[in-house]
Structure 1
Amino acid sequence: MTARSCLSIILAAGEGTRMKSALPKVLHKIAGLPMVAHVVRAAQSAGSGDLAMVIGYGAEQMREAVPAFVPEAEIFVQEERLGTAHAVLSARSAIARGYDDVLVMFGDTPLIDPAALADARARLAAGADVVVLGFRTENPAGYGRLVEKDGALVAIREDKDCTEEERRITFCNSGLMAIAGARALSLLDAVGNDNAKGEYYLTDIVEIGGARGLKIVAAEASFENALGINNRAELAGAEAIWQKRKRQEIMLSGVTMIAPETVFFSYDTEVDPDVFIEPNVYFGPGVSVEGGATIRAFSHIEGATIGPRAEVGPFARLRPGADLGEKAKVGNFCEVKKATVEAGAKINHLTYIGDARVGAGANIGAGTITCNYDGYSKFFTDIGAGAFIGSNSALVAPLTIGERAYVASGSIITENVPDDSLAFGRARQKTLPERAKLLRQRRADAAKK
């Protein structure tokens, strides 16, 4: 059976004034990804081949941002805001190419389930001409009602226009539609603007199609599918729903979380089975964790790869480019950035490792730092396998510490250390008897003056 072609039109022209932000509403993030990108991912997961993004006139930020997460999308500009049908027709040239299915979605509904979109497309394949995605709620006030008769959808009635009987309907319009491609332009062109606002409403195609004898149906999805974001409070609410879904998905895949409600994931976080996650952990974008690893409490991780049976934290920070090998350990109050920590290496306490390689089995003592930046450029530190770096050492890059080399505690190392060598980089200790007693007396006398 030949796969059906599909165009997804994502309406993202709104200013989002209630967000009170210089950033376009749909570019505000859920789980580290712009909310409109969540809509794109849902469309792609539902089998959409082509994407059309309808933006507002002058939305330069959108023009710049869209290619970053969906480079293949065509961008269309709605020059005037004359309603949802008018917005969809901004993508007329794309619709005219001819598709089996046309999906119409909104860029501010980031929780749309790909399964709901796939179901709508399946109904088109089964003969429907228009499918409207609806949801049920016990408190339908303010929502458009889906008016059905004999299994067909006959109208979408706005709340203010409902009769008393229609107000009791709890099946409501999400705004999401699937339209048979062969019917799309004809239905859209028939929409008029004879209404109080003088706008062209996409919802009118339901009655237009019904009058033409077309098959118009409603499909039911959860309320979350229709959840639109209009302000920062709703953004936080959507984030909470997304995180709850992700936690459930990850735990069911075989991951243990002691307090899942305190762990936060990004849209692309990958966690293998048998990972153990303690409370209050944040995963930023670009993190993968392999099986058997332990992530201890209050760790902040982004752009990092954590190998099998590695251990991170508590209170550790892994920044982009951190790559931990098997059984590697990054302990409490340590920071690793753009560095490879090979198998079995240990960075246990109060340490910064940046732009570096820590060889297999090496041990980095507490308080050690790689001095990788001179104010202009970054430099690399290479620490060989089995090396031992004593506590409170400063390794001034560019620098190579050889395999099995030993750096004495408190050293400042500026020159390469060969394999199996011992390096000191500190002043010789000098002890002055009774001098501490004299110093205390001088300070006491000065305080009395």
Structure 2
Amino acid sequence: MYKCALVLAAGQGTRMKSKLPKVLHKVCGKSMVNHVIDTLRKVNIDDVNVIIGTGAELVRESTEDKKVSYSLQEETLGTGHAVICAKEFLKGKKGIVAIANGDAPLIEPETLENVINSHINEKNYGTIITSIIEDSTGYGRIVRNNEGNVESIVEHKDCNEEQLEIKEINAGMYIFDIEELLQALDKLSNNNSQKEYYLTDVIEIMAKKGLKVGSVVAPFEETLGVNSRVQLAEVESIMRKKINERHLVNGVTIIDPSNTYIGRDVKIENDVIIYPGCILEGNTIISEDCVILQNSRIVDSFIGKGTEVQSSVILQSKVGENTHVGPFAYIRPESIIGDDVKIGDFVEIKKSTIGNGTKVSHLTYVGDAEVGKNVNFGCGTVTVNYDGNKKHLTKIGDNAFVGCNTNLVAPVEVEEGAYIAAGSTITTTVPSDALAVARAKQVNIKNWVSRRGLYHKK
């Protein structure tokens, strides 16, 4: 069966008090709308259409790599109006459409898949996700007929005394038969105090037509939407707790889960230890037996088995096995660090390849470089990669030794097994097996200081 989805992402979100569209605010390192799209993809939705309005171009930019289409809601005239704006997307399609809110990122794939299967198996024309809560004040109530099917959704202000006692509420997520939804949309009216078109009215339209409308109860916290910064923090806390618990169950040690921040797409193998203050984001993979020590940030990177990262930042890079990074190292995007490597304190690696067994122990910058195996970098080494116009490549062969305080002015090559004396500025190739010394001869001028009155003995 063909399955598509609409994501409602046109709301202004005035209570967020932000220049950023509400759905682009991040939860666990990812914008809310992208959480929703990714969840829809996990349940094999064929096509996703994002309904945009406020900040349309920003939402497009944030979601353009998700292979979605867009419908524009120029005026925010209610949820029903938002879906009406997507009629062109739905026209001519047969199957089912899921409708989700772009500001409700906590819905789990398993829950959504359960709703879709229930819709199909029960032969429903509409299926609502509902929740049961003790205090249903302010929420739309689910009203059922004698057969137990959903008859209507009644907003709190319109409820009679009997309906006010109902604990089952509308979560704002739906599955519809596409053809019947299109027919129901044509009958929507804005004859209400808000002069808006409500998607909830579709339920009553279908029920009056004799079409079966069912429901699936989901945990209330999965249906939470975000309308303020306070709610954003609440949703962040819930998602982070669930993510961390999943990793704990799978064999990861998290010393202090309340102070560990792991993105939803991060993969961590068992017997990894994560210390407090760490932030793991994007499509990061942490292999088994790694230790990620305090206050490290790793984004879209691969960390090999048995590697230790201490108080360091790694961005969009690959680090091999049994390697030590930090403390206070900075590995910038497009770097590849080999096995048994040491990237020490206050070392910055930028767009470079570092071979197995190499040691870059401290206070060194390696940028735009290809470094071989078992190379030793002395303290204070700099690959001088930028001439003011272009970046240039430095090549260092296997088993080379680079003395302290060396400048390697690219483009330049240090061949296999070469040595460079401390304090050298290297501008041409250093041949294999050679020692390069490139520094001015020391000259001592006697009594230079006292003649200038710069120093007086007491």
Is TM > 0.5 for Structure 1 vs Structure 2? yes
Query: Which residue, 319, 340, 344 being the options, matches 2:332?
Result: 319
Match of 2:346 in 1: 333
Q: Kindly state the Cα deviation for residue 360 of structure 1 after the two structures are TM-superposed.
A: 1.2
Match of 1:97 in 2: 92
Match of 1:187 in 2: 184
Query: Which residue, 296, 315, 320 being the options, matches 1:307?
Result: 320
Match of 2:210 in 1: 213
| Kept after mapping to 2: 8 A contact 1:384/1:403 | yes
Amino acid at match of 1:295: V
Distance in 1, Cα, partners of 2:451 & 2:134:
78
- Greater Cα shift, 240-249 or 175-184: 240-249
Match of 1:199 in 2: 196
Match of 1:288 in 2: 302
| Kept after mapping to 2: 8 A contact 1:391/1:410 | yes
Query: Which residue, 104, 107, 122 being the options, matches 1:109?
Result: 104
Match of 2:38 in 1: 41
Aligned residue runs from structure 1 range 254-293, under 5 A: 254-260=251-257, 261=260, 262-284=277-299, 286-293=300-307
Q: Kindly state the Cα deviation for residue 197 of structure 1 after the two structures are TM-superposed.
A: 0.8
In the alignment, structure 2 segments of 5+ residues that lack a partner are: 261-276
Query: Which residue, 2, 12, 15 being the options, matches 1:5?
Result: 2
Alignment pair present for 1:373 and 2:386: yes
Amino acid at match of 1:225: E
SS of the equivalent of 2:130 reads: strand
Match of 1:358 in 2: 371
Match of 1:145 in 2: 141
SS of the equivalent of 1:331 reads: strand
Q: Kindly state the Cα deviation for residue 8 of structure 1 after the two structures are TM-superposed.
A: 0.5
- Greater Cα shift, 4-13 or 311-320: 311-320
Amino acid at match of 2:318: T
Match of 1:403 in 2: 416
Q: Kindly state the Cα deviation for residue 303 of structure 1 after the two structures are TM-superposed.
A: 0.7
Distance in 2, Cα, partners of 1:241 & 1:208:
36
Distance in 1, Cα, partners of 2:245 & 2:46:
29
Q: Kindly state the Cα deviation for residue 394 of structure 1 after the two structures are TM-superposed.
A: 1.8
Aligned residue runs from structure 1 range 112-131, under 5 A: 112-126=107-121, 127-131=123-127
Q: TM-score, normalised by structure 1?
A: 0.89
| Kept after mapping to 2: 8 A contact 1:5/1:99 | yes
Distance in 1, Cα, partners of 2:388 & 2:193:
62
Distance in 1, Cα, partners of 2:387 & 2:246:
44
Distance in 2, Cα, partners of 1:223 & 1:266:
26
User: How many residues are matched?
Assistant: 438
SS of the equivalent of 2:279 reads: coil
- Greater Cα shift, 301-310 or 5-14: 301-310
Q: What is the alpha-carbon root mean square deviation over aligned residues? A: 2.6
| Kept after mapping to 2: 8 A contact 1:7/1:50 | yes
Cα deviations by residue, 1:167-189 (Å, 9 ceiling, x for unpaired) = 44443322111112342212222
Match of 1:14 in 2: 11
Amino acid at match of 2:414: I
Q: Kindly state the Cα deviation for residue 370 of structure 1 after the two structures are TM-superposed.
A: 1.3
Distance in 2, Cα, partners of 1:250 & 1:335:
30
Q: TM-score, normalised by structure 2?
A: 0.87
Amino acid at match of 2:128: V
| Kept after mapping to 2: 8 A contact 1:144/1:157 | yes
Amino acid at match of 2:279: F
Alignment pair present for 1:80 and 2:75: yes
SS of the equivalent of 2:280 reads: coil
Distance in 2, Cα, partners of 1:307 & 1:174:
45
Cα deviations by residue, 1:177-215 (Å, 9 ceiling, x for unpaired) = 111234221222222222111111111122222222222
Amino acid at match of 2:84: L
Q: Kindly state the Cα deviation for residue 254 of structure 1 after the two structures are TM-superposed.
A: 4.2
Match of 2:267 in 1: none
Match of 1:421 in 2: 434
Cα deviations by residue, 1:231-269 (Å, 9 ceiling, x for unpaired) = 344334433433333333444444444444222222322
Distance in 2, Cα, partners of 1:318 & 1:393:
20
Q: Kindly state the Cα deviation for residue 434 of structure 1 after the two structures are TM-superposed.
A: 7.6
Distance in 1, Cα, partners of 2:250 & 2:358:
29
Q: Kindly state the Cα deviation for residue 435 of structure 1 after the two structures are TM-superposed.
A: 7.0
Alignment pair present for 1:229 and 2:226: yes
Distance in 1, Cα, partners of 2:132 & 2:288:
36
Distance in 2, Cα, partners of 1:254 & 1:94:
44
Q: Kindly state the Cα deviation for residue 7 of structure 1 after the two structures are TM-superposed.
A: 1.0
Distance in 1, Cα, partners of 2:437 & 2:289:
43
| Kept after mapping to 2: 8 A contact 1:367/1:392 | yes
Distance in 2, Cα, partners of 1:382 & 1:65:
38
Q: Kindly state the Cα deviation for residue 280 of structure 1 after the two structures are TM-superposed.
A: 1.7
Amino acid at match of 2:286: V
Distance in 1, Cα, partners of 2:256 & 2:55:
45
Distance in 2, Cα, partners of 1:44 & 1:110:
13
CA separation of 1:256 and 1:362: change in aligned 2, threshold 3 A: farther
SS of the equivalent of 1:131 reads: strand
Q: Kindly state the Cα deviation for residue 374 of structure 1 after the two structures are TM-superposed.
A: 2.4
Q: Kindly state the Cα deviation for residue 57 of structure 1 after the two structures are TM-superposed.
A: 7.1
Distance in 2, Cα, partners of 1:331 & 1:171:
57
CA separation of 1:100 and 1:388: change in aligned 2, threshold 3 A: same
Distance in 2, Cα, partners of 1:241 & 1:226:
12
Q: Kindly state the Cα deviation for residue 351 of structure 1 after the two structures are TM-superposed.
A: 1.6
Amino acid at match of 2:142: L
SS of the equivalent of 2:114 reads: helix
- Greater Cα shift, 417-426 or 196-205: 417-426
Cα deviations by residue, 1:8-53 (Å, 9 ceiling, x for unpaired) = 0111111223333333222233344332121111111111001111
CA separation of 1:48 and 1:377: change in aligned 2, threshold 3 A: same
CA separation of 1:254 and 1:187: change in aligned 2, threshold 3 A: same
Q: Kindly state the Cα deviation for residue 418 of structure 1 after the two structures are TM-superposed.
A: 1.3
